[in-house]
Structure 1
Amino acid sequence: MTTESESRPPPISEFVYDPTLPEHQPWCVQAPPVRNRMILTDLTVDFPEASSKVPANEPDVHPKARWRTLEFRIYTAVACVVLPIMAWIPISLSMCTSPTVPLHLLVKLLNTARLYTASNPNYQFFEKRLSPGWIPFRKVDNSDAQYRGFRNSFWLLTVLANAYLFIKFVWITSARSPPPSNLYLIRYNLVCSALFLIGLHGASLIKILLILTINFLIARLCRGSKAGPVLTWVFNGAVLFANDRYNGYRFGDILPSLSVLDSYQGAYARWHIVFNLTMLRLVSFNMDYYWACHAKDFPEYRHHRTTTYKERKASHPRHMYCYINYISYVLYPPLYIAGPIMSFNDYLWQHRRPMHIYARVAMLYFIRLLASLLTMELILHFMYVVAIKDTKAWVGNTPAQISMIGFWNLIIVWLKLLIPWRFFRLWAIMDGIEVPENMVRCMANNYSTLGFWRSWHRSYNLWIIRLILNTTLVFTFVALWHDLTFRLLAWGWLVSLFILPELIATYLLPASKYGTKRWYRHVCALGGVANVLMMMGANLVGFVIGTDGIQFFVRELFGTTQGLVFFGAACVCLFVGVQLMFEYREEERRRGIYRRC
């Protein structure tokens, strides 16, 4: 008789080496083994490490699925009732006149009164922020400046990405005898980077190259000296502050005779905004070179296999940390604007030992991107919560309505980051470069502060834990790196503070000791509810309504009887949601998937 661990289906990695393919070919059309039908865990995006890293304390046999038990049937029924109400509240607030709600009795019970009144008096305050939409009879809330830039440039970026890939395909196929590695393509990347940045930033490319050259000289001159990391951090920190202080600098302010260059600003003049990501790559290169100077040997993996993510952290011979490779890495077009972030060592290993990425993998990822885009478009056309938030058009709203304005703003924050990251990651994948997935789970599918941090901007998290260790210092740096404002600094400190309860609870009630107790899952769910409330509060402060807005929300929530009743109902709903999240992760583990988030 076989145990459950023996019968567990082996995980399917998206990035598999096929020895029958030519070594130089980074793109293959064969698809990996496929299942006959989609399963529940396919809803979450996969990444190679999710199936390869089995936790040391992972049991061989997992509990049986609870989906068909009475308890989880009740949870599912609650979710089926509550989720439509959560969607309907912001939709009704986004209408000029609020229609009658069929479920008005239940809505009233949940303290969402005024949803079914004849008119929406706050509509006039945010209407001016709306734009004509492509869905009939609906306007679109395109007022978020960060996402508007990507949304308005989407088709141009699509054409640019396809042109880049097509020309590179011609370049590769025209080569008479391509070498076994892809190092020869680095010069192509370098030429494309120069053309790309001239069009994007114009003459500001000179400023960028000057900063990059100084950073490179710091690494090469300091070599293995401890002064190298110190000077690297000081220089790049000073550049970030100077960029913000002087708004990217003007040639005319440096030297009046150069003022003519200020007229050539390119399609996106604010190069210093994008430079925050570039700074991470500068630090990564210098630290990788510093560690290479201390490396005693350099691995040479076999030509007939690709390397794992862990292996791609290994140092290269020192001569490979040259200026051409450095510039090609820092300004690599698919990842330059928004990431995801990868280390220099990883970038170079994937040129020395090309990844073999199946066409089906890219197609499935493309479908995920389209689904995310469509979801965002539907939200922007039917929920004007960004405009409501920006104009503070929530006067007279109930605590339930105000909370849904905040919740759906967080969903939009998640989507506005997810979509560009997936777009540029898809571009890199189609170019044969595998980069970390930035958003592993939906914003609303997190109950752990630590797990949320691992899955939100994951490539940045990998960069952080590789280079910074102290928790408070980590989140302080993260906040200042995003924007030099008190609001984000408050967010960083709040996240650092909110991690403590989870760490203390994990220490006092370890799963290894109490995991088999019947009450343990329910106590953990209560802790998950507290975590969700704290995470939502911190992110509302940092990315949505700021410190003033959260004070108003807290007064409305805890200063009225209506608010307290809603808060109690919300906690019950969150408890149900956390239980469903627990079981979803158990389902993943039953299938050999370990995402650690």
Structure 2
Amino acid sequence: MKKKQETAEEEYALLERTDGDASGMSVPHENISRRSSPDPTKAGLLHELSSSAAEPAYPAGSPPPPTVATGYQSRRVRDRTTQPSLWHTKEFYVYYVIFLICVPYMFKVAHETSTKDNPNYAKIEDLLEDGFFGYKVDNSDGQYKGFRNNLPLLAKVIALYLPLSHLFRKVFVPVTPLKSPLQRLPRAYFFLAFSVVYLYFMYGNSILKILAITSVNYAIAKVGGSAPWVPIVTWVYNIAILFLNELYKGYNFSDFHESLSWLDNNRGASGGWHVHFNFTMLRLVSFNMDYYWSRQQTRETLVKEDRDRAPHNDKDRVQAPAFTEDYNFINYLAYALYAPLYLAGPIMTFNDFISQLRFPKEIPGKTLLMWLGRLVFALLTMEFTMHYMHMVAISKREAWDGNTVLQICMVGLFNLVLIWLKLLIIWRFFRLWALADGIEAPENMIRCVLNNYSALGFWRSWHKSYNLWILRYIYIPLGGTQKAALNIWPVFTFVAVWHDIELRLLAWGWLISLFILPEIVASKVFSKQKWGKWPYYRHMCAVGAVFNIMLMMIANLVGFCIGLDGVKHMLHDLFSSVQGWMTMTCCLSAIFVCVQVMFELRESEKRRGIFLNC
């Protein structure tokens, strides 16, 4: 038991975050860690997967260890050494020249696949719409099309919501923090009232299905309390709901009884309530597990001498249980149905959400303007890309017959870039809405998709709030890094099923799990402790990172872009001809240069005191 305690404390020590700016907010709101960033000279970095977790490594049902790891420093926390800058070396001047040649050429090649002169243009022409300045725009991505076309409506909803929310807060919410458990949270009532109206507009009478599912989940938590069966029943129930939602396409009321068929006449403006319910499912699990753990260690026990203190940092907001009185039905529904984050996240834990209601964060106007500027820039970049190249339409129609091997590779690469960009826009839009409402959710995309060389680092920087949720509620309860090679299989299987119940996504999840294994082995065999003094160690790690990137690209192309058939076609062209081998050699060389720049970017961050976990 003592050994488990020490292990948990080490996990906690790795979660310490750097201080924020003068406003008290993290810089740049992206879960910056006090410990060093992944050392670019480590090919694997598996041991850091759980470094941004928010829950200790303890089995479900056992009492959680102390929340704050006081007086303990892990060896990796103390290792904050940096390397001399390489930006102005002859080696990197060569890399700059390669960048100046390769990057514009990549855009040129990608654009050539989308022009009217391309023989495959007729296959995609019907998917294109009239755009700006006489250009055609590729608006064929269903997810982004729904967001883009409804952006004016969402803007109107926000324009209505924010003044009402701030007026309610000014009139009914005390200026001082609500430190006593006897003090109710007035904003929870406003959140719930608006969310019910909002969801009724979106889904019509289907809101009754949402309320029924959430009510049953709440009953599981309250009836079970601290009983050991609560985690099992919670997980079985919520995963079953995911499958049933998909199987019955959100259900019809008439399926339950013919007399209820009239309720099917009003499905709201959106109709497909079950499409967005996956995010709600994460919140339901969060509430049940946070409540379950709170019954074993209450906040009153945790801070006997100072129970009304404000949280020290974001980690404290997640880990410290709320007051027992806060785990009530109103707060639960306000959290599960919170309008700004309902459709797409980012994901917050229940503890964090309630903590921000009791002890509100100060979010300066300059911070909101910064994130608004970033969002506008991303939107403009997306519009330019959708007009300049039609990658989504090409992948939908598999319109690459007769294209060169390099052109096919660029279709795959820019498909990944567009997926990253669309998700960044959607997540930042809703996060900005919540920020303007005084609620800070984690930033999901903390690195560009093309600035990743580690599969584990990529997982931490892509959909970060989901990653934190996975770590807290799945990965660490299953054993954390001590059983990492085994844990990645159920973790990524759940991730695939959660996204959608499709064979290609299961293939993606299992490929990710399989492709992580070489990184695990490399991180142990070629560790910095053993090889770090070798003068060419950085270059050896770069070679390993190149193949890591290729494996990650293959897995993501299978799951989210061109599918298994498209990847087979691309790999066949790469390996079956002299042109393919030449293309692959050039691509691997270019990626090698990119990896060297990625390494130096992370060293540059460390020199500036920024220690990201990816």
**TM-score after normalising by structure 1:** 0.87
Gaps of 5+ in 2: 1-16, 38-74, 179-183, 476-486
Listed one character per residue, the Cα deviations across residues 186-237 of structure 1 (whole Å, up to 9, x for unaligned) are 1110111111101111100000000000000001001101111111111111
* Pairwise CA distance, 1:514: 2.5
Listed one character per residue, the Cα deviations across residues 139-185 of structure 1 (whole Å, up to 9, x for unaligned) are 11000111100010112112212321111122223349545339221
Relative to structure 1, is the Cα distance of residues 548 and 160 closer, same or farther in structure 2, using a 3 angstrom cutoff? same
- Which position in structure 2 is the counterpart of 1:317? 323
Q: 2:547 aligns with which of 509, 527, 530?
A: 530
Letter in 1 for 2:537: Y
- Which position in structure 1 is the counterpart of 2:161? 164
* Pairwise CA distance, 1:509: 1.4
Q: 1:50 aligns with which of 7, 32, 52?
A: 32
For 2:517 and 2:22, how far apart are their aligned partners in 1?
Answer: 37
Relative to structure 1, is the Cα distance of residues 453 and 551 closer, same or farther in structure 2, using a 3 angstrom cutoff? same
* Pairwise CA distance, 1:59: 4.0
CA contact (8 A) 1:236 1:279 kept: yes
Is residue 368 from structure 1 mapped to residue 374 from structure 2 by the alignment?
A: yes
For 1:290 and 1:556, how far apart are their aligned partners in 2?
Answer: 54
Q: Secondary structure at the match of 1:131?
A: strand
For 1:222 and 1:414, how far apart are their aligned partners in 2?
Answer: 40
For 2:283 and 2:347, how far apart are their aligned partners in 1?
Answer: 7
- Which position in structure 2 is the counterpart of 1:123? 121
Letter in 1 for 2:142: A
- Which position in structure 2 is the counterpart of 1:275? 277
- Which position in structure 1 is the counterpart of 2:356? 350
CA contact (8 A) 2:113 2:403 kept: no
Q: 1:444 aligns with which of 426, 446, 450?
A: 450
Is residue 511 from structure 1 mapped to residue 531 from structure 2 by the alignment?
A: no
1:191-590 matches, cutoff 5 A? 191-295=193-297, 297-299=301-303, 305-312=310-317, 313-469=319-475, 470-590=487-607
* Pairwise CA distance, 1:512: 3.1
For 2:135 and 2:30, how far apart are their aligned partners in 1?
Answer: 41
* Pairwise CA distance, 1:518: 1.5
* Pairwise CA distance, 1:13: 1.6
- Which position in structure 1 is the counterpart of 2:111? 91
CA contact (8 A) 1:341 1:435 kept: yes
* Pairwise CA distance, 1:360: 1.1
CA RMSD of aligned residues (A): 1.9
CA contact (8 A) 2:173 2:186 kept: no
For 2:85 and 2:341, how far apart are their aligned partners in 1?
Answer: 40
Q: 1:141 aligns with which of 125, 138, 141?
A: 138
Listed one character per residue, the Cα deviations across residues 308-346 of structure 1 (whole Å, up to 9, x for unaligned) are 121112112322210001000000111100000011011
Q: Secondary structure at the match of 1:49?
A: coil
Letter in 1 for 2:375: L
The alignment-based identity, stated in percent, is 46
Letter in 2 for 1:283: V
1:62-81 matches, cutoff 5 A? 62-81=82-101
* Pairwise CA distance, 1:358: 1.6
For 1:329 and 1:517, how far apart are their aligned partners in 2?
Answer: 52
Q: Secondary structure at the match of 2:156?
A: helix
Letter in 2 for 1:540: L
Relative to structure 1, is the Cα distance of residues 51 and 234 closer, same or farther in structure 2, using a 3 angstrom cutoff? closer
CA contact (8 A) 2:203 2:271 kept: yes
Letter in 2 for 1:299: V
For 2:281 and 2:470, how far apart are their aligned partners in 1?
Answer: 13
Letter in 2 for 1:499: I
Gaps of 5+ in 1: 1-9, 19-31, 33-44, 98-119
CA contact (8 A) 1:196 1:333 kept: yes
CA contact (8 A) 1:277 1:338 kept: yes
**TM-score after normalising by structure 2:** 0.85
For 1:532 and 1:93, how far apart are their aligned partners in 2?
Answer: 24
- Which position in structure 2 is the counterpart of 1:110? none
For 1:176 and 1:589, how far apart are their aligned partners in 2?
Answer: 41
* Pairwise CA distance, 1:304: 7.4
For 1:125 and 1:241, how far apart are their aligned partners in 2?
Answer: 35
CA contact (8 A) 1:51 1:592 kept: no
CA contact (8 A) 1:12 1:51 kept: no
